[in-house]
Structure 1
Amino acid sequence: NKSLMSFIGCLWILRSPCRLFHGCSRLLTSQIISYYDAINQCKKERPEYFNFASDVLDEWSRLEKDGKQLANPAFWWVNDEGEEVKWSFEELGFLSRKAANVLSEVCGLQRGDRVKVVLPRVPEWWLLNIACMRTGIVFIPGTSQLTAKDILYRLQASKAKCIITNDTLAPAVESVMRECQFLKSKLIVAKGSRDGWLNLKELLAVTSADHKCVKTKSHDPMLIYFTSGSTGFPKMVVHSHSSYGIGFATSGRYWMNLTPSDIMWNTSDTGWVKSAWSSVFAPWICGSCVFVHNMPQFKSSLIAETLSRYPITVFCTAPTAYRMLVQHDLSSYKFMSLKHCVSGGEPLNPEVMAKWKTQTGLDIYEGYGQTETVTICANMKGMKIKPGSLGKAVPPYDVQIIDDHGAILPVGKEGNIAVRVQPTRPFCLFSEYLGNSEKTAASVCGNFYVTGDRGIMDEEGYVWFVGRADDIINSSGYRIGPFEVESALIQHPAVSESAVVSSPDPIRGEVVKAFIVLAPAFISHDPEKLTCELQQHVKKLTAPYKYPRKVEFVQDLPKTATGKIQRKVLRNKEWGRV
């Protein structure tokens, strides 16, 4: 099949950069767009059938068997107790086939069934990811911070026939079981047994590894993520086998700068889509090692120690974590192997980028995307970084700033960040909001999928984030994005963290209000004087009308399970909507 062979050829280039660079001599960074044009031919040649487990992971395993030993393991897991798990691609394949047989033969799950997996950063989470690919079962991740109510809603909405969790969350599952009659089985990842549960560790020890991967079509469903919206309960976002399996090839190689010689550590919680991005698909399609620290709680010292102790070459964490890290004294640590840092999930303040560069000598390459997409925009390796920018569009996406009617806006004009879906819908865009055709249809405006984020594009094609569409503050006719004010505030030494929202005002309709977490050295300062000082500080760094007319000092800010600041919670409180 000519189409399939062309696609495999593209994958071979991606997984073996030396063939591209050394065979043709290393191209200049000014020609990087040529790489994108070449890689994007894969989109046009997308095969009818694709399965990441058999077409990518098993191919790496075959190369290992042929004596082409990779520099690193495929998977490397550690914890605070000094335990380690290292798997080659061959071992990953062997164990994931066992897990696949557990799901199909023991649990009785069939192709197309859905399984809810609520686990922390344990090796079994990765095995189950691959096992679901091998069986055609739809994998539904969830953060281990879910409550019983959260679990019940997700089980009922998805009609999952199996749930897999640990002994910590098992009681929460048991408390809602009566309302989940559709569940066929419950698997627990624990050292000991529990009544009514199948033990995954025990089953893996006795189950055969003889399993043939199912033949999945590129558009068959592979993943479902629950994502919160501005209104209503979380929505179910469906991704196909090729959406993530192929879609992260470009950003893995050129945003994350991954090669087979790299070891990538992404700190994301397993329930967050970024874990799929940077702890499964992007590194493994590039043949890189996925490094995992179980890290039950975020600690700046633990992050720094791990980067110093292990030969991690590529590091990915959220902007909130970078903000905390630059406040930590990094002078006593040496990150000898680290060469590339990326971030995503929320805007990254230029001040934090500058501090990280000063302390480590490394730039942070920011990327932007959503649960519904792969990477939309990014600062690619070799590009000029404009601090505060999301970077440029990542192929195959055509990213534009549009108005509320779908018309493309001129350079410098604020509007909706959108991705072109007509005449051709990008294959790496989500398939649908499951069970919500109205929401799926509403996500399209004219020829574009609308992200719900506001932004500006400059004359060089860089996209600048302004804020969520419902986060924009309209004060006396001035539209103010919270991110710019927050970026200004964090440059003051008194500010550890901040969140900016609208607050009601009898004259202006609404004004800017800043909720501020103070740095320890400023907690005892006079609040009135400090408020005035911060207001003047913002006036100096931004247009005067953007300064916070109201300031409230708080001990902490409301955040999601993935560490994103929940401005909506603060805004609702201000407007009496709680």
Structure 2
Amino acid sequence: MTSLLNRYVPRTEFDSYEDFNENLKITVPEDFNFAYDIVDVYAKEQPDKVALSWCDDNQEKIFTFSNLKQLSDKAANFFKSLGVTKGDRVLLTLKSRYDFWYCMLALHKLKAIAVPATHMLKPEDIEYRIDVAGIKTVVTIREDGVPESYAEVEKTLGLKLNKVFVGTEDMPGWYDLRKEVKKASDNFERPVYDDDSVEDTSVIFFSSGSTGQPKMIKHSFGYPLAHIVTSNYWHQVVDNGLHYTIADTGWGKALWGEIYGPWISGSGIYIYDYDRFHPYEVLSKALEHKITTLCCPPTMYRFFIKEDIDNLDFSSLQHATTAGEPLNDEVFYKFKELTGLSIREAFGQTETVATIANFPWVDIKLGSMGKPAPLFNIKLLNTDGCECDVGEEGEIVFDISEGYPLGLFKGYYNNQEKTDETIYDGYYHTGDSAWIDEDGYYWYKGRIDDVIKSSGYKIGPYEVESALLSHSAVLDCAVTGIPHPIRGQIVKATIVLDKGYQPSQELTKDIQNHVKHVTAPYKYPRAIEYVDELPKTISGKIMRKKIRLEDEEKFKK
């Protein structure tokens, strides 16, 4: 006995995508709680099973499920002593400290609501989150000026927060998490609430804020079970292996690959808590720890293949996945040459689990997101609200008219207006556009607001960015539309050049010609601007809206 998967999935093996799509069923107990029903069950039945292999630049630690049960029970007693109870929101800015995992479990045990956030927040970002979420308790790393920002916000808002830190030096007015957990009792009894439900909110994630103030995305206690699809059938995690998703715990992607799905499916998690991302060091250290599955953004794969990694031992690695931005052909083929593995893409949002993916039975078409996951009835709707024909571009929506699917968020916390703008007429509207081919594969076009309309053509930024990224000079890029008196809009590329390249008219011409040959000629960027870095949200998403607004100001002059 290893994985707990078959306790929630009556049938785990499938012969084809059609078999998978028709017959995958996930059982959701009414009182399911991930901390008790997964972690504590492993601790009882397989106490020495590895849950977390963690390291930083100075030390390494292995946590079994028995270790995590004890730590989470202690942390739950500590949080309880602070008055944290069911429904209370607790803000976690813990980067990739190992404390994040037992704190998450402790909050689940209390039926409190975990609110993970990145440590890169500025005081105004923290103030917004504490204010709109009604935060009373914060748990944070000791460095990078984060505690000072919390103290500043506390004064600004006139609050008295429970302030908890992870670090080595005492701070007046703060609780030292590790000291408090060490002295807390490990005898924790599961609270009983009269109104307990698997639909209760367990986690709130703030959206990236790329189109306005961040929204608070609610997920229920049943949400972890939906990540069976993400981990077992997209990542293809290995029972008793180690899965590595490279993402800060403040990003929604952390829940996709750093806690729920891998553990349910029997895989341990590998975490490297680095200060700065150095491609060779990150990859080599992961391979030294014998990771079996890997997921990271295409940008990181691009950085990896630019390093001298031919000497690394990839023998432990069995599967590789990516999501969030285009994966260009060069990266796919170079990584396959080095490892023998095909990188499998997927689509999803902080509001969802993996919803469209290149599952094991799906032959990869480079650039395609793959096919829909069984949990969701996915459709494409055109601007008239009708289902799209093959090849016709439309919005990706989830048909929820016959039931609300497991894995879809429960609305935006304290914001019914925004929820109603997204969930209406029997659909969840993703705000993303795509088209479907004759074989049922979905092809991403971009956010609806980002699609460029030029001379009657609709051009998605992702397809042009993918073409640009296949040029050796382009390290990173963003594609937007700028006004044009005749064409309506023209394609503009904002480009960060790789080392060894300098802007020039000759390089601009070469990049434009390259795009014309890689994709349809009408999509090439008629305008190119070179910059040192792209504007991005704190979660790493390109802020195309900011680029468009800045360009509008330029054109006014």
What TM bracket, shorter-length normalisation? Answer: over 0.9
The partner residue of 2:39 within 57, 73, 80 is 57
Matched, 1:541 2:518: yes
SS at match of 2:490: strand
**8 Å contact 1:379–1:385 — kept in the other structure?**
yes
Where in structure 2 are the equivalents of 1:81-92 lying within 5 Å?
81=58, 83-92=59-68
Q: Quick one: distance in 2 between partners of 1:445 and 1:410? A: 22
Matched, 1:145 2:120: yes
Residues 514-551 of structure 1 deviation map (CA, whole Å, 9 limit, x = unaligned): 1122232332x7x1111112212211222221111111
Tell me the TM-score normalised to structure 1 length.
0.91
Matched, 1:217 2:197: yes
2:282 corresponds in structure 1 to 303
Where in structure 2 are the equivalents of 1:430-509 lying within 5 Å?
430-509=409-488
Q: Give identity over the alignment, percent.
A: 36
The partner residue of 1:240 within 220, 234, 253 is 220
Where in structure 2 are the equivalents of 1:75-474 lying within 5 Å?
75-81=52-58, 83-105=59-81, 107-168=82-143, 169-181=146-158, 183-214=160-191, 216-229=196-209, 231-243=211-223, 245-474=224-453
SS at match of 1:498: strand
SS at match of 2:346: strand
**CA positional deviation for 1:16:** 9.7
- 1:475 partner amino acid: S
SS at match of 2:116: strand
- 1:109 partner amino acid: V
**CA positional deviation for 1:133:** 0.4
Taking structure 1 as reference, are residues 180 and 209 closer, same or farther at Cα in structure 2, changes over 3 Å only? farther
Residues 480-532 of structure 1 deviation map (CA, whole Å, 9 limit, x = unaligned): 11111111122222222221111122222221111122232332x7x111111
**CA positional deviation for 1:20:** 5.4
Q: Quick one: distance in 2 between partners of 1:536 and 1:543? A: 11
**8 Å contact 1:226–1:236 — kept in the other structure?**
yes
Q: Structure 1 runs of 4+ off > 4 angstroms? A: 14-17, 181-184
**CA positional deviation for 1:183:** 4.5
Q: Quick one: distance in 2 between partners of 1:14 and 1:487? A: 41
**CA positional deviation for 1:251:** 2.1
2:535 corresponds in structure 1 to 558
Residues 132-151 of structure 1 deviation map (CA, whole Å, 9 limit, x = unaligned): 10000100001010011111
- 2:230 partner amino acid: S
**CA positional deviation for 1:230:** 5.3
Q: Quick one: distance in 2 between partners of 1:99 and 1:88? A: 16
Residues 90-134 of structure 1 deviation map (CA, whole Å, 9 limit, x = unaligned): 1110111001111012x1111111111111110111111100100
- 1:167 partner amino acid: R
**8 Å contact 2:90–2:139 — kept in the other structure?**
yes
**CA positional deviation for 1:52:** 0.6
Q: Quick one: distance in 2 between partners of 1:229 and 1:457? A: 28
Return 136-145 or 476-485, whichever deviates more: 476-485
SS at match of 1:269: coil
Taking structure 1 as reference, are residues 20 and 465 closer, same or farther at Cα in structure 2, changes over 3 Å only? closer
**8 Å contact 1:166–1:190 — kept in the other structure?**
yes
**8 Å contact 2:298–2:322 — kept in the other structure?**
yes
Matched, 1:48 2:34: no
2:506 corresponds in structure 1 to 529
Taking structure 1 as reference, are residues 459 and 447 closer, same or farther at Cα in structure 2, changes over 3 Å only? farther
SS at match of 1:433: coil
Residues 139-198 of structure 1 deviation map (CA, whole Å, 9 limit, x = unaligned): 000101001111111000000110111222111111111244455411111222111111
Question: How much is the aligned-residue C-alpha RMSD, in angstroms?
Answer: 2.1
SS at match of 1:513: strand
Note the residue ranges of structure 2 that are not aligned, 5 or more in a row: none
Q: Quick one: distance in 1 between partners of 2:384 and 2:400? A: 15
1:34 corresponds in structure 2 to 19
Matched, 1:74 2:67: no
Q: Quick one: distance in 2 between partners of 1:447 and 1:58? A: 38
Residues 435-474 of structure 1 deviation map (CA, whole Å, 9 limit, x = unaligned): 1111111113533211111101112221110011111111
SS at match of 1:370: coil
When the two structures are aligned, how many residues end up with a matched partner?
548
**8 Å contact 1:482–1:500 — kept in the other structure?**
yes
Residues 38-86 of structure 1 deviation map (CA, whole Å, 9 limit, x = unaligned): 432x2xx533211011111112122215xxx64xx111111111x1111
Taking structure 1 as reference, are residues 341 and 407 closer, same or farther at Cα in structure 2, changes over 3 Å only? same
Residues 383-434 of structure 1 deviation map (CA, whole Å, 9 limit, x = unaligned): 2111111111112111111123432111111010111111211132111111
The partner residue of 2:6 within 13, 20, 24 is 13
Q: Quick one: distance in 2 between partners of 1:229 and 1:448? A: 23
**8 Å contact 1:372–1:430 — kept in the other structure?**
yes
Taking structure 1 as reference, are residues 20 and 429 closer, same or farther at Cα in structure 2, changes over 3 Å only? closer
Note the residue ranges of structure 1 that are not aligned, 5 or more in a row: 1-9, 22-26
**CA positional deviation for 1:225:** 0.7
Tell me the TM-score normalised to structure 2 length.
0.94
**8 Å contact 1:36–1:250 — kept in the other structure?**
no
Taking structure 1 as reference, are residues 100 and 180 closer, same or farther at Cα in structure 2, changes over 3 Å only? farther
**8 Å contact 2:208–2:537 — kept in the other structure?**
no
**8 Å contact 2:17–2:359 — kept in the other structure?**
no
**CA positional deviation for 1:306:** 1.3
